[in-house]
Amino acid sequence: MNRKPILYSLEPFDPAGHRVRATLTIADPTPSGQVISMPAWIPGSYLIRDFSRQVEAISARCGRQSLAIKKLDNHTWRVAPCQGAITITADIYAWDLSVRGAHLDESHGFFNGTSVFLKAHGHEDHPCELKLIPPPGRLGWSVHTSMPLSSRARLAQSSKGFSVYSVPDYDALIDHPIEMGRPQVTRFTACGAQHELVFTGVTPGLDLPRIARDVKRICEAQIRFFEPTSQQAPFLDCAQKYVFMTMVTGDSYGGLEHRASTALMASRKDLPTIGQEKTSDGYQTFLGLVSHEYFHTWNVKRIKPAAFAPYNLAKENYTELLWIFEGFTSYYDDLFLLRSGVIDQPTYLKTLGKQIASVWASPGRAKQSVAESSFDAWTRYYKQDENSPNALVSYYTKGSLVALALDLTIRHATHGQHSLDDVMRLMWNRFGRDFYQSGVRGIRENEFPALVREATGVDVRNEVQAWAYGRNDIPLAKLFAQHGMTMQWAATSKTPSVGMRVRKQSEQQVIATVFEHGPAHQAGLSANDVLIAINGLKVDSVSNTVDALLAPYQPGDRITIHVFRRDELRQFELTLAPAAQTECKLNLAATS
């Protein structure tokens, strides 16, 4: 069948007003009227975002004739029938500084395809060609994307990337985000494959060689993990290079995975500058994020739940398995910092201890399993509020502990002959490597225990049932003991606890979360109460913080807290609890 390519163009025509123009030309539109739509969500971020709401103007024509467009629902339109090729033009507002949207000003443009490219229904399998048009004026921008240049454009390379790109289908078109501007760029090869690190945002003295060196080690460790024999990078079937595109700001953190690239947000203070030798906690966090998103190239971009193969971008795609795709990725991200030698073993154990402590800090873990948390991601995990720590469990953090617990279980049962690594490689071999070729399916909802059995010989049906589908705590201390490790809890300070989290709001201290069953809950304090005084002394955000004011007291002491609620002064009496044991210490026993 001859599938005529859909021709797209993208032009950042109004950087000052944050407007971008996207067109698509369909040579063989649906005779009864071409239906087009914008995705309602972006894969990897499980929330309906209705990107169509940023479409300010949309029009269609057939040659010189303009065509009527009728809107069918929030994100779908139908173009009036006509004979011959049609072109649809959309002007889109791009001012969302996040890894999930589109952002344009005079300094740069960042575009996720889900925010700018309309889908031609019935033509999803047609190849797409994209022409990138530079912004007006001589801004000296270059383009950075994993999207492959068309074969003709590859021959004529002098356009700084403002050229024509070519992908096999719409799904690929929206999975290669595009950065343009004047970023700091460095490149390296890992196992022979090209990688590019792109940093947008003012970051003086950025130590690019160091970052490239560290990221290369992480990439090589992961490639060799999944492909011990061929050592082949996973993305070479759809891209010439992998691109890490990082937006650097004063205070941000986040990432979103794609098939041959990732979009990241990082804080300036977390990135290393030239001359700085120590690995700061912030830099370790950045490398952990890099490791996480790169691991997704295998786990979720290719090894997928059946519910995501293919994605339905018009509505929620439900799966109970995000604890495998986000949780296992969260387990391996830090583990690959250790395996690649970027951090040492004591640092790794400290990081793992923090992960365990963060799960135990949320009372919500007794109300929701990670399977339920996965299923409800769309309305709960991605719509968190002040009560979320009491109501939710994270399929990231608890999911990573499920991975850890399964890894320890498999290693113990097989006397170190097998591990979770074997399960990952089996899933890669069967479902991942050839995913973008036709005929490979995703992992079914109830299939995972059988895969563990096949890869390792260990029956983990009961464990998976209890840890992923149940709400009790995972018996980590017992599992660690089988490996000669100890897990101990300690309090980080002696200050007694009131059972609440506080946030700063201008100069005021405001209650962010009241933990269920704690003293604050029992007394009736609530989220958003503005703290005024503790036992008659003023609370502020400088020296009289809640912790500082509580430090002189002992567990069991009665105290009075004054707050404003809806501008009304309220008084609460409560009994202080012992300092919470929030620090989890892991140790390798002296003898094992």
Nearer to Zn ion, 399 or 499 (CB): 399
Nearer to Zn ion, 326 or 421 (CB): 326
Q: For residues 324 and 468, what is the distance between their CA atoms, to the nearest angstrom? A: 9
Nearest residue by C-beta to Zn ion?
A: 326
Q: For residues 39 and 314, what is the distance between their CA atoms, to the nearest angstrom? A: 6
Find tokens 């590019």 and name the residue.
Answer: 196
Mapped onto helix, strand or coil, the DSSP state of residue 550 is helix
Nearer to Zn ion, 326 or 463 (CB): 326
**Least distance (Å) from Zn ion to the CB of residue 408?**
22
Site string for Zn ion, 319-348 (x = CB under 5 A): -------x----------------------
Nearer to Zn ion, 67 or 324 (CB): 324
Q: What is the dihedral of CA 220, 222, 228, 234, to 10 degrees?
A: -90
Nearer to Zn ion, 23 or 397 (CB): 397
Nearer to Zn ion, 257 or 529 (CB): 257
Of residues 179-198, those binding Zn ion (CB under 5 A) = none
Closest CA to 246 of 260, 256, 238, 236: 256
**Least distance (Å) from Zn ion to the CB of residue 320?**
17
Nearer to Zn ion, 146 or 394 (CB): 394
**Least distance (Å) from Zn ion to the CB of residue 318?**
18
Nearer to Zn ion, 283 or 332 (CB): 332
Point out which residues pair with 206 in neighbouring strands: 273
Could you tell me if 120 and 127 are in contact, meaning their C-beta atoms sit under 8 angstroms apart? no
Per the document, the length of the chain is: 592
Of residues 277-316, those binding Zn ion (CB under 5 A) = none
Of residues 498-557, those binding Zn ion (CB under 5 A) = none
Report how many residues bind Zn ion under the rule CB under 5 A.
1
**Least distance (Å) from Zn ion to the CB of residue 300?**
7
Question: Looking at 130-138, 139-147, 318-326, 531-539, which segment touches Zn ion (CB under 5 A)?
Answer: 318-326
Give the DSSP per-residue string, 399-447.
HHHHHHHHHHHHHHHTTTS--HHHHHHHHIIIIITTTTSTT---B-TT-
Determine the distance from the C-alpha atom of residue 432 to the mean position of all C-alpha atoms in its chain, rounded to a whole number: 20
Q: For residues 575 and 62, what is the distance between their CA atoms, to the nearest angstrom? A: 75
**Least distance (Å) from Zn ion to the CB of residue 299?**
9
**Least distance (Å) from Zn ion to the CB of residue 99?**
11
**Least distance (Å) from Zn ion to the CB of residue 371?**
17
Q: Who's near 304: CB < 8 A, 6+ residues apart?
A: 325, 431, 435, 442, 443
**Least distance (Å) from Zn ion to the CB of residue 412?**
28
Closest CA to 200 of 303, 278, 329, 110: 110
Residues that bind Zn ion (CB under 5 A): 326
